Structure 1
Amino acid sequence: MKNIWLAAAFSGIWALAAHAQSSVTLYGVLDEGFQFNTNAKNVVKGVNVGGRQLTVDSINGLNGSRWGFRGTEDLGDGLKAIFDIQGGINLNTGAFAQGGTPFGRTTYVGLSSRSYGTVTFGRQYDLVVSYVQPVTSTGYIGGSTTFGHPVDLDNLVNTLRVNNSIKYVSPDFNGLNFGSEASLGGQPGNVTGGGGYSFGASYNHGPITLGAGYNFFKNPTGPTAGTGLFTDNVSGANSLSGVLNSNYIAASSYQVAAVGGTYAIGPALIGLTYSNTQYGNVASLGGVSPKFNDVEAGLRWQFTPAFFAGFAYNYTTSTGVEVRGETLGDQHYHQIAVLADYFLSKRTDVYFTAAVQKASGVSSTGSAAVANIGGLGDSSNDRQAVMRIALRHKF
């Protein structure tokens, strides 16, 4: 009997030890606010007449509302099994975000080693997002919509995710990190169709943080839902929704190269970012390859431990392409964004953010260029402003 009790005791201790080496965490962000758009998209009889719009919104704040599960299991010798399953939610309707994809933000599983780095498999962010976004104003100030570039054409607000991907991220080498990623695409009958690759690196030392990344994807508009970078959601909806780039839907490739950095000095953090976006061989327009360049400068100032404010200026330009004697996509965008954020606690804050954008030139469709802040939808003219006051809670 004594041996039975000892065996049971040791079994219990072993179970507790095993449990202590594994963890599963439920987490999320709820970001709900009043949002005002001075000129929202409003199509009447086939014409965008625009109009003012006031909404209660939980998708387009500093963080799109989300929830998820992440976990780790210690396998010994510095090796861990990891996973993350995260989905966007609309608090006002209960619907899934990311085109109705239940866990549309990230879903991956992998192995992490202190010595050799991390390998993950699933639906993930590309490495331009991983390494460059933190040094954009979206990363160090906030505001996935108000601080985003027009229609998020360079994906630095991570509108797009990479399906069927294999990702490697290195351990930290005295502030240096690097990684690579490959997507298998998944288009039926075309082994490499919709596939692509991404790589990047970051360096952090003292007050300086630098980041660089590159993406290349073939046939980004997939023939079925969930295939292709632009059609990565279960709804199959194409992400090219504004006249800025919607006429490039038939591009045979999409690539982004981006680089940026921040410098901290006292209560200030100063940032500068550049990106180049290219749509390769647009068949419907005779094989042209439109190019965009974007430059952004920002400043964050920490007034107190609980309050900071930020400002950013963004300029986007495209030189245009010649199609049957007509110039398309010769367009230019100026945007200013501001943010003031006060923390009531470590997990709860209230904030105000706003952006103003001015467009000029000719859009990808040949019509006059119109404003479109962060992919909220085309304005009916060359101007648009968005303001938001919100409450954010993290759990």
Structure 2
Amino acid sequence: MKKITGLTLGLATFGVFSHVAHAQNQVTLYGILDEGIMYQSSAGGKTGGKKFFLDSTSGISGSRWGMTGSEDLGGGLNAIFTLEGGLNLNSGAAAQGNTMFGRQIFVGLNDKRLGSLTFGRQYDMMFYFGQPLTSAGIQGGSALFLHPGDLDNTGNTIRVNNAIRYMSPDYSGLTFGGEYSVGGVAGNTTANSGYSLGVAYAHGPFVLGGAFEYFKTPTAATAGAGFFTDNANGATALSQTLNRGYASASAYQTAIVGGRYAIGPVTLSASYSNTQYANLGNAFQTKTARFDNVDFAVKYLYGPTLALSVAYDYLKGHEVTAADGSARGNQHYNQVSVMADYLLSKATDVYLGGTWQRASGTSSTGEAAVADVANLGDSASNHVFLVRAALRHRF
């Protein structure tokens, strides 16, 4: 990270120069470049197959650049801001559906005694209070360790637009937060709106936490307007057969509880989450589709430079009945993930990871379930093996 102090900061972004002439207490420019060579034994849906490719968005840290800053307003109160965009190193495009600041962009106030209040496109409470207690959180965030389909959003596949967020200070290990997303629909003040809540307690090596999220009318015809359609290109989080059949849902909710415990060089974690697609409409006799997910992970620090991680995840989709009487959604996913991460310096590391996943049962569309690692899309079969060898640099 590079810190800049003074009265003026010149920015050159996409060939446009802008001049900032107001006092800044501190501005920090930062970024992460995480480029990997990946092999996927089965990809591309029904007509797909093996895939070998370069990737800079599905690693431990999705590649990004950003700027964060604060201004001291006196009495422990600060004005704060963050602008952060995802990067696709292999094409030069913005990530998160070609959204310029797709990861997060917000402005707000932070008080040492009262906490922070921010406004903009932001992470939800599933990210802050759920992800750290999952297998992905203990390992660092790679897609190889995410829950199948990232249905509970603990892998922050979805960011929340039009969000008002409060985060508490640390009260002797207790922290909590809440977020509300304004729908902005004329004539219907609740459409496309939602909220999330989270809480955690840390005491020495032990951490316990949980989060809950609810969205009404999560899919919108306008890109960037709904929870599932949050990106500039209108891409939807209902893109996989794992959950695509539930696009008619007029409500979505998910909840997670978990814990983490450190014993010397070993860290253990376990979590349980429940995800529901509610009010499925006339296409279904059953009105709610439910998923339960459990995961367990172990991370071992072998000296100051090498970290080894292993995790197991199980996802169960519960059967629903379609309007024609057919059964759908009875899905089972078993997943094992491993990774070795080696530090070359404080800013640069190399890592090698792999995931094996097997699916069984009937998908949300009524077809045979196929493997769905994280948010990488449908595999061509019910099982997949994914390998990533990567170089990561932080600045």
Within 5 A, what are the aligned runs for 1:254-269?
A: 254-269=252-267
Distance in 2, matches of 1:219 and 1:242, equals: 19
1:369 and 2:369 aligned = yes
The letter of the residue matching 2:27 is V
Does 2:149 align with 1:146?
no
1:241-260 pair list within 5 angstroms = 241-260=239-258
Establish whether residue 122 from structure 1 lines up as the match of residue 125 from structure 2: no
Change in Cα spacing, 1:389 to 1:284, as seen in structure 2 (3 Å) is farther
Q: Distance in 2 between matches of 1:122 and 1:156?
A: 20
1:250 shift after superposition: 1.5
Residue 22 (structure 2) pairs with residue 22 (structure 1): no
Q: Deviations over 1:100-131 (max 9, x none)?
A: 10100001000000000000000011111111
Question: What is the Cα deviation at residue 50 of structure 1?
Answer: 2.2
Q: Distance in 2 between matches of 1:178 and 1:350?
A: 34
Which stretch shows the higher mean deviation, 289-298 or 190-199?
190-199
Whether the 8 Å contact between 1:198 and 1:214 is mirrored in structure 2 is yes
Contact 1:187 1:222 in 2 (8 A): no
Find the counterpart in structure 1 of residue 88 from structure 2: 90
Q: 1-side partners of 2:382 and 2:125: how far apart?
A: 32
Q: TM-score, normalised by structure 1?
A: 0.92
CA-CA distance at 1:360 after TM superposition: 0.4
CA distance in 2, matches of 1:211, 1:20: 39
Task: Supply the distance in 2 between the matched residues of 1:295 and 1:333 (Cα, whole angstroms).
Answer: 11
Name the counterpart of 1:319.
318
Unaligned 5+ residue runs, structure 1? 1-13, 43-47
Residue 37 in 1 paired to residue 40 in 2?
Answer: yes
Q: Residues 7 and 24 of structure 2 are in contact (CA less than 8 Å); yes or no, is this contact kept in structure 1? A: no
| SS state at 1:132 partner | helix
The question of 1:392 aligning with 2:392 is answered: yes
Aligned pairs for 1:112-191 within 5 A:
112-191=110-189
Deviation at 1:144, TM superposition (A): 2.7
Q: What letter corresponds to residue 365 of structure 2 in structure 1?
A: T
Greater shift, 57-66 or 280-289, is seen at: 280-289
Distance 1:198 1:59 in 2: 25
Distance change (3 Å), C-alpha of 1:23 and 1:378: same
SS of alignment partner, residue 131 of structure 1:
helix
The two structures, once aligned, show a CA RMSD in angstroms of 1.7
Letter in 1 for 2:288: S
What's the secondary structure of 1:391's corresponding residue? strand
Structure 2 matches for 1:178-257, cutoff 5 A? 178-257=176-255
Q: Residues of 1 paired with 2:117 and 2:153: CA distance?
A: 23
Q: Deviations over 1:337-384 (max 9, x none)?
A: 001000011110000011000000000000000001112111121101
- Could you list the per-position Cα deviations for residues 238-286 of structure 1 after superposition, in whole angstroms to 9, with x for gaps in the alignment? 1111100001111111101101110000110000000000001112523
- Alpha-carbon separation, structure 1, partners of 2:142 and 2:318: 26
The runs of 5 or more residues in structure 2 that have no matched partner are 1-5, 9-20
CA deviation after TM superposition for structure 1 residue 191, in Å: 2.1
What CA distance in whole angstroms lies between the structure 1 residues aligned with 2:292 and 2:210?
A: 15
CA separation in 2, counterparts of 1:20 and 1:186?
A: 34
Shift, 1:296, TM fit: 0.2
Partner Cα separation in structure 1 for residue 278 and residue 188 of structure 2: 18
Distance 1:233 1:241 in 2: 13
More moved, 280-289 vs 167-176: 280-289
Tell me what 2:14 maps to: none
The question of whether the paired residues in 2 share the 8 Å contact of 1:68 and 1:85 is answered with yes
1:310 aligns with 2:313: no
Determine if contact 1:144/1:374 at 8 Å carries over to the other structure. no
Shift of 1:188: 4.4
Q: CA deviation at 1:142?
A: 2.4
* Alpha carbons 2:132, 2:138 under 8 Å: kept: yes
Between the aligned residues of both structures, percent identity stands at: 51
More deviation in 23-32 or 141-150? Answer: 141-150
377 and 79 in structure 1: CA distance in 2 versus 1, 3 angstrom threshold? same
Provide the rounded CA distance (Å) in 2 between the counterparts of 1:134 and 1:343: 21
